Amino acid sequence: MAKITFITSDDETIVVEGTSGSVMELAVEHNVKGIDGDCGGVCSCATCHVHVKPEDMTKTGPASEIETDMLELDDNADEYSRLCCQIEISDAIDGVELTVAK
Amino acid sequence: MQKSELPDPFEKARLEKGIGEMKDQNDPVKMILRHKDVRKTAHNYKTFQSGAIPGRIVVPSEVNIRKTRQIPFELDPPIHGLYRAIVEPWFKRPLQVDYTEKLTDQISELVEETLKKDKVEVIGEFALVLQSRALTLLLNIPYEEAETWISWGTHVFRSEDTALDADKANILYDYIDKEIDKAIENPGADLYSMLLASEVEGKKLTREEVKGVMVLTFAGGRDTIINAVTNAIAYLSEHQESLERFRKEPEIIGKAVEEMIRYFSPLTQMGRVVTEDTHVCEHAVKADTRVSLCWASANRDDAVFENPNEIVLDRKINPHVGFGFSHHNCLGATHARQIMKVLLQTLADKIKSIEVFDYKENIEDLDEFKRKVGYDYINVKFNRLTN
Ligand code: HEM
Ligand code: FES
């Protein structure tokens, strides 16, 4: 079980819990604004871009090469950016805070 | 070779040079073939612009057959974003539950009609019908309107004899003009009325701008959907086991749709006009010439995709560019994805197998390359699943 906090671009805070699947799927299920997950999680749409709170990066790990290639061209991306369809839900990410990218 | 296969004609040129060349009506095009270069170029709107004279970024060029600027397609940031913001929420409507339900009813009914026939020509009697009916949902107009669009046949812009046919384009333009008049007189809850009521920087969209959005919605969503649907049917005719798999693992259908879009790449390429002397992939390109982003080639790049020439239904990482990339990525993608998902689900629920009788391949002539993009016709029979 992992508790995950999303902060949307309207500064709304949404706290949800999940046990399996990807963070993108969890966000879509709970209608987190700004996470559309258009491609269903295969890394082709970038509509699941989040900024991980810096101190939580150790829990989520850094972006994979496929993600950085995709995000490299996104003007809003930074070193804390992840495509959250590539973050698997598990106990390891309990408590992370994710800010939905513009 | 299997009938449903779409070979990759770009492989050699992609590996050796990274570019291809097309002459296209004395306005040559350097085709960009590698995944990385395609994405980089698509992102760099300052050097590779969309907002050139209307029709020039399309390959083959439409400069001689239209004057109306397609919106937001033929605009560059930052203006592009202002227009795109108006239409974006509308084009996300396919995610709504009642939209999906209506789409499911439409496709279910069509598959049932098709099951009753001994022989069906997929392009004209299935894909075109499906695409036209579904478009009534996207435009939020009465279902009956689809009959008019079906009667136009498959090629509104393109006819079989001449690559670009101005007469056919006129049918669409005249039609859209009339529909805009109707919406001005009698505003409703349809896309025309929404556009007519919209403002960019405090100014109402002009009639010409509304027309530019509507032409694009009709043109961009026609051949692409028809090719995607038809290629899916052809693929399933040779892969009965995939229907079985969708029944057992419906959760892979979303991934299967992405994979089909990658493999089929219903839109082969789209151009840009170069604004300054520069290089793509170490080849010099001059200002005021054209390049194209070859989505179909990028989607077979083995630097990115393992077994690129195979359909791997549950491909987990699939950064394809079938719907484009960056600023201009496909606005109709939500609608297109929903159509494909519902189609695969419905076929899995109702169909055991598909028989192909005869067919003719549609081969695009890209000078240096010949690319199969789909079929001119393909006659089939659907066999019902009984348990
Ligand atoms: C499988 C079906 C489809 C495919 C493969 C496809 C592919 C594409 C591609 C590759 C682009 C990028 C063009 C560029 O970068 O210049 C694009 C843009 C676009 N597509 Fe699609 N398309 C499909 C269906 C649709 C549908 C159904 C519609 C609407 C009814 C549509 C409307 C648009 C529009 C409006 C744009 C321009 C967006 C912009 O400039 O911001 N497409 N499409
Ligand atoms: S959902 Fe498409 S890239 Fe993550």
Tokens of B67: 């004057």
> Which of B43, B257, B319 has the CB atom closest to A43's CB atom?
B319
Please judge whether B317 and A66 are an interchain contact, meaning their C-beta atoms are less than 8 angstroms apart.
yes
pTM for this model (two decimals): 0.96
How far is C-alpha B10 from the geometric centre of its chain's CA atoms?
A: 20
The pocket around ligand 2, CB under 6 angstroms, is made up of: A 24, 37-39, 41, 43-48, 83, 85
Q: State the ipTM, two decimals.
A: 0.93
**pLDDT tens digits, one per residue of B252-267:** 999 999 999 999 999 9
Q: Name the residue type at position B84.
A: R
B327 and chain A in contact, CB less than 8 A: no
The pLDDT value recorded for residue A73 is 83
Chain B environment of A69 (Cβ under 8 Å)? 36, 39, 319
**Residue in A closest to B334 by C-alpha:** A38
- Give the atom of ligand 2 at the shortest distance from the alpha carbon of A39: 2
- Residue B165 — very low, low, confident or very high, per pLDDT cuts 50/70/90? low
The residues, any chain, with a CB within 8 Å of residue B284's CB and separated by 6 or more, are: B277, B278
Task: Tell whether B324 is covered by a domain.
Answer: yes
Tokens of B44: 């760099």
How many domains does chain B divide into? 1
Question: Does residue B161 register a pLDDT over 50?
Answer: no
Task: Tell whether B150 is covered by a domain.
Answer: no
Task: Tell whether B126 is covered by a domain.
Answer: yes
> What average pLDDT does chain A have?
95
Pairing of strands B29-32, A13-18: unpaired
The CATH class that applies to domain A2-100 reads alpha beta
Please judge whether A42 and B316 are an interchain contact, meaning their C-beta atoms are less than 8 angstroms apart.
yes
Question: Does residue B356 register a pLDDT over 90?
Answer: yes
* Average pLDDT value for residue range B352-372: 97
- Domains of chain A, residue spans: 2-100
B255 and chain A in contact, CB less than 8 A: yes
Interatomic CA distance for residues B181 and B73, integer angstroms: 23
Q: Hey, which of A26, A32, A70, A83 would you mutate to test ligand 2's pocket, going by the most ligand atoms within 8 Å of its Cβ?
A: A83
* Average pLDDT value for residue range A58-63: 96
The pLDDT value recorded for residue B170 is 81
Task: Tell whether B166 is covered by a domain.
Answer: no
* Average pLDDT value for residue range B295-308: 98
Residue B310: give its domain's CATH number: 1.10.630.10
Question: Does residue B1 register a pLDDT over 70?
Answer: no
- For residue B365, the enclosing domain spans 11-139+212-384
The pLDDT value recorded for residue B167 is 66
CB B33 within 8 A of CB B14: yes
The residues, any chain, with a CB within 8 Å of residue B44's CB and separated by 6 or more, are: none
The pLDDT value recorded for residue A102 is 83
Chain B environment of A66 (Cβ under 8 Å)? 317, 319
> Which of A40, A70, A73 has the CB atom closest to B255's CB atom?
A40
- Residue B159 — very low, low, confident or very high, per pLDDT cuts 50/70/90? very low
Give percent above pLDDT 90 in chain B: 91
The pLDDT value recorded for residue B154 is 76
Task: Tell whether B98 is covered by a domain.
Answer: yes
Dihedral pair phi/psi, residue B352, rounded to 5°? -90, -45
User: Of the ligands numbered here, which is closest to the C-alpha atom of A39?
Assistant: 2
Assign 3-class secondary structure to chain A.
Answer: CEEEEEECCCCCEEEEEECCCEHHHHHHHCCCCCCCCCCCCCCCCCCCEEEECHHHHHHHCCCCHHHHHHHCCCCCCCCCEEEHHHCECCHHHCCCEEEECC
The pLDDT value recorded for residue B153 is 85
Task: Tell whether B175 is covered by a domain.
Answer: no
Dihedral pair phi/psi, residue B219, rounded to 5°? -75, -45
User: Of the ligands numbered here, which is closest to the C-alpha atom of B223?
Assistant: 1
Chain A environment of B257 (Cβ under 8 Å)? 40
Question: Does residue B160 register a pLDDT over 50?
Answer: no
Question: Does residue B66 register a pLDDT over 90?
Answer: no
Peptide bond into B187 cis (omega under 30): no
Q: How many Cβ pairs closer than 8 A exist between chain A and B?
A: 45
What single string gives the DSSP state of each residue in B55-85? TTTSSS--TTT--SPPTTTT--TTHHHHHHH
Cα B221 to averaged position of ligand 1 atoms, centre (Å): 7
Question: Does residue A91 register a pLDDT over 80?
Answer: yes
* Average pLDDT value for residue range B125-137: 98
* Average pLDDT value for residue range B302-307: 97
* Average pLDDT value for residue range B146-151: 95
Task: Tell whether B151 is covered by a domain.
Answer: no
